[in-house]
């Protein structure tokens, strides 16, 4: 017997229609590429998303055709999120920090038909347009009178001219909720990038889950600043959850420096922000010397790479802001776990609570996880035993676009490539990417633990731990560090700083001072590149 409830497909168009109907005067504020601040409402987003849909229909773009973006977080990008997917096409967000050759490769692999770009990325489009053989229309995300006359890009139109002549009414098509809605290529440590292809169903379910109180806890009372880019994993799904809750959205545009972000938080009364640790590092670096405080910020979700304990402390103790440590992946839409305490943990002493907060958090309903050994045998949840982390759920990939890389699943589970522990309360802690684990004398050393201690030293701005070959122990850890401007610390002082904070054999053998740690297009440390830079390095004890 089937249930007798109405069956309506979960479609992205329903999110923007909901925001329009119930939160029409909710504000969307964007710092634009031009530098000024743009303001409008959810009603305007809805109206202009329908115009985007009309423009795509006008071009006779087929169902599931790809529309690419090279854009910052801003209102036009938001309209494309709803207009492209809502009309049945697939939004392909490209990371503009990639090398132009990779941008061209990705655009061709995705067979993008339209490429919309912010004017900051004009040079990239000028470099690649001739190689993007499937693109029929280039759209510069600017006013008609800002379109450069001599760009050299054929079939170029301004965004405002492109959507301007379309009607603001539109009947969103109804179709199978499993249809593709958007795609994002992962950086991929080996071989070519591979794309996660999200569906309307996976995106809508993720938007519901992300808004829950123990997840991102978004509401119509929040003013939300997603610093996490819309060009990488849909800004952690915040644009969709925002439409679902009707919160105010504040977009930073291209101004990602500490001063601009701080000013935006204050001027727009931001209560909630989301970003990777490097962004907050810059913001705290700006605030501390100037003695600045927040007047409205209450919570910040930090993920994408391990949030250093020193950052959680600083936010909490110096600024009264709760840090929600989160973990996820492009292949997981991206949310997997988020760290909020359980009721029984609230009465624990502050230092015990902090130990829990440092972990990557508990699984969200919709994400099943387990840790396994090399033979695939499930390992205990004791907070000590570590193994390969596997996940499954309705917003986790089952296959990559065009079947690239073959079947990624192991008995229906997706191997994350992360190594983790899970404790008896279900809190997961990442110890490493499996390729970055340091194997010393048969034991594993967590590079994240080694880095976190260095990051707690007042003179250290950034730290990366890598294993170096050792004749007796196989590998020994060393720590490459960037000093804060004007600060000094010696090798001996930093090594001494580790004493008492970790087991002796986990203390790195050496410290290497570098000007910068190589970062990838999504702000993650590129340890492969660091190892290349250190290829002539020899351990003092080797």
| Residues lying near ligand AMP in the complex (CB under 6 A) | 186-187, 233, 303-307, 325-330, 334, 360, 416-418, 430, 433, 522
Q: How far is the CB of 277 from ligand AMP (least distance, A)?
A: 8
Residue 155 contacts residue 137 (beta carbons within 8 Å) = yes
- In 3D space, the residue among 497, 499, 509, 503 whose CA is nearest the CA of residue 473 turns out to be 509
From 269, 402, 439, 529, active-site residue:
439
CA dist., res. 283 & res. 117, Å (int): 27
Q: Find where tokens 């930073």 sit.
A: 252
- CB of 204 or CB of 305, closer to ligand AMP: 305
116 contacts: CB under 8 Å, gap ≥ 6: 67, 68, 69, 70, 71, 76, 80, 138, 139, 141, 159
- CB of 88 or CB of 303, closer to ligand AMP: 303
- CB of 126 or CB of 187, closer to ligand AMP: 187
- CB of 54 or CB of 303, closer to ligand AMP: 303
Q: How far is the CB of 259 from ligand AMP (least distance, A)?
A: 26
∠91-94-99 over CA atoms, to 5°? 160
Q: How far is the CB of 434 from ligand AMP (least distance, A)?
A: 9
Tell me whether residue 60 is one of the annotated catalytic residues.
no
For the purposes of burial, counting CB atoms within 10 Å of the CB of 111, is it exposed (0-12), middle (13-18) or buried (19 or more)? middle
Query: Which residues, listed in sequence order, are joined to residue 392 by a DSSP beta bridge?
Result: 368
Residue 169 contacts residue 50 (beta carbons within 8 Å) = yes
Query: Which residues, listed in sequence order, are joined to residue 40 by a DSSP beta bridge?
Result: 28
Tell me whether residue 524 is one of the annotated catalytic residues.
no
Q: How far is the CB of 113 from ligand AMP (least distance, A)?
A: 26
Query: Which residues, listed in sequence order, are joined to residue 75 by a DSSP beta bridge?
Result: none
Q: How far is the CB of 430 from ligand AMP (least distance, A)?
A: 4
- CB of 158 or CB of 522, closer to ligand AMP: 522
| E runs forming strands in 203-247 | 223-226
DSSP for 71-113 reads --SSHHHHHHHHHHHHTT-EEEE--TTS-HHHHHHHHHHHTEE
Q: Find where tokens 């073959």 sit.
A: 406
Tell me whether residue 186 is one of the annotated catalytic residues.
yes
From 444, 484, 502, 524, active-site residue:
444
Question: Angle formed by the axes of helices 238-245 and 12-22, to 10°?
Answer: 40
From 186, 245, 300, 337, active-site residue:
186
For residue 57 the two structure tokens come to 């229909």
Dihedral sign from CA coordinates of 208, 210, 216, 222: negative
Q: How far is the CB of 303 from ligand AMP (least distance, A)?
A: 4
Q: How far is the CB of 413 from ligand AMP (least distance, A)?
A: 14
Tell me whether residue 451 is one of the annotated catalytic residues.
no
DSSP 8-state assignment for residue 378? B
- CB of 42 or CB of 231, closer to ligand AMP: 231
297 contacts: CB under 8 Å, gap ≥ 6: 265, 270, 271, 272, 273, 319, 321
- CB of 163 or CB of 462, closer to ligand AMP: 462
- CB of 16 or CB of 228, closer to ligand AMP: 228
- CB of 285 or CB of 520, closer to ligand AMP: 520
What is the torsion angle, in degrees rounded to the nearest 10, for the CA atoms of residue 68, residue 71, residue 75 and residue 77?
Answer: 10
Query: Which residues, listed in sequence order, are joined to residue 78 by a DSSP beta bridge?
Result: none
Q: How far is the CB of 479 from ligand AMP (least distance, A)?
A: 17
Q: How far is the CB of 428 from ligand AMP (least distance, A)?
A: 10
For the purposes of burial, counting CB atoms within 10 Å of the CB of 263, is it exposed (0-12), middle (13-18) or buried (19 or more)? middle
DSSP for 296-362 reads S--EEEE-SSPPPHHHHHIIIIIH--EEEEEEE-GGGSSEEEE----GGGTTS-HHHHHHHHTS-EE
Q: How far is the CB of 94 from ligand AMP (least distance, A)?
A: 14
Cβ atoms within 10 Å, residue 25: 8
- CB of 237 or CB of 334, closer to ligand AMP: 334
Report which residue's Cβ sits closest to ligand AMP.
330
Active-site positions read 186, 331, 439, 444
């Amino acid at each position: 017997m089937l249930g007798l409830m109405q069956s309506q497909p979960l479609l992205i168009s329903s999110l923007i229609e909901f925001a329009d109907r119930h939160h029409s005067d909710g504000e969307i504020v964007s710092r634009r590429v031009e530098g000024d601040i743009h303001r409008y409402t959810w009603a305007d987003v809805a109206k202009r998303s329908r115009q985007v849909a009309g423009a795509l229909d006008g071009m006779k773009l087929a169902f599931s055709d790809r529309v690419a973006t090279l854009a910052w977080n801003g209102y036009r990008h938001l309209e494309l999120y709803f207009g492209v997917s809502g009309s049945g096409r697939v939004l392909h967000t490209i990371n503009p920090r990639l090398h132009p050759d990779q941008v061209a490769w990705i655009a061709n692999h995705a067979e993008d038909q339209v490429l919309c770009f912010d004017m900051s990325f004009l040079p990239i489009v000028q470099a690649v347009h001739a190689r993007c053989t499937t693109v029929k229309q280039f759209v510069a995300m600017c006013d008609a009178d800002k379109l450069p006359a001599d760009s050299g890009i054929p079939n170029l139109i301004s965004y405002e001219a492109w959507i301007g002549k379309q009607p603001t009414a539109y009947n969103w098509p109804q179709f199978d909720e499993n249809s593709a809605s958007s795609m994002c290529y992962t950086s991929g440590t080996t071989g070519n990038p591979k794309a996660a292809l999200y569906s309307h169903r996976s995106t809508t379910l993720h938007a519901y889950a992300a808004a829950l109180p123990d997840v991102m806890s978004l509401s119509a009372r929040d003013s939300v600043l997603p610093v996490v880019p819309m060009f990488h994993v849909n800004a952690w799904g915040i644009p969709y959850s925002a439409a679902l809750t009707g919160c105010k959205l504040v977009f930073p545009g291209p101004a990602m420096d500490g001063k601009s972000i701080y000013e935006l938080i204050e001027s727009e009364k931001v209560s909630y922000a989301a970003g990777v640790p490097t962004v907050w590092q810059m913001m705290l670096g700006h605030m501390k010397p100037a003695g600045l405080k927040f007047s409205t910020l209450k919570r910040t979700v930090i993920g994408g790479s391990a949030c250093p304990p020193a950052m959680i402390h600083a936010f909490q103790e110096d600024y009264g802001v709760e840090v929600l440590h989160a973990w996820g992946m492009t292949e997981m839409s991206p949310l997997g776990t988020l760290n909020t305490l359980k009721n029984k943990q609230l009465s624990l002493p502050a230092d015990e609570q902090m130990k829990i907060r440092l972990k990557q958090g508990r699984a969200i309903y919709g994400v099943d996880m387990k840790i396994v050994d090399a033979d695939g045998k499930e390992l205990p949840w004791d907070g000590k035993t570590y193994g390969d982390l596997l996940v499954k759920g309705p917003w986790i990939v089952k296959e990559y676009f065009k079947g690239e890389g073959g079947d990624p699943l192991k008995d229906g589970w997706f191997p994350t490539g992360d190594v983790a522990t899970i404790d008896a309360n279900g809190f997961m802690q990442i110890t490493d990417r499996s390729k970055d684990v340091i194997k010393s004398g048969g034991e594993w050393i967590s590079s994240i633990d080694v880095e976190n201690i260095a990051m707690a030293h007042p003179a250290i701005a950034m730290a990366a731990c890598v294993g170096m070959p050792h004749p007796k122990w196989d590998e020994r850890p060393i720590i490459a560090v960037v000093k804060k401007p004007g600060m000094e610390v010696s090798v001996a002082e930093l090594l001494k700083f580790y004493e008492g904070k970790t087991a002796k054999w986990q203390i790195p053998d050496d410290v290497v001072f570098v000007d910068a740690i190589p970062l990838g297009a999504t702000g993650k440390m590129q340890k492969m590149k660091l190892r290349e830079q250190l290829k002539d390095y020899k351990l003092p004890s080797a």
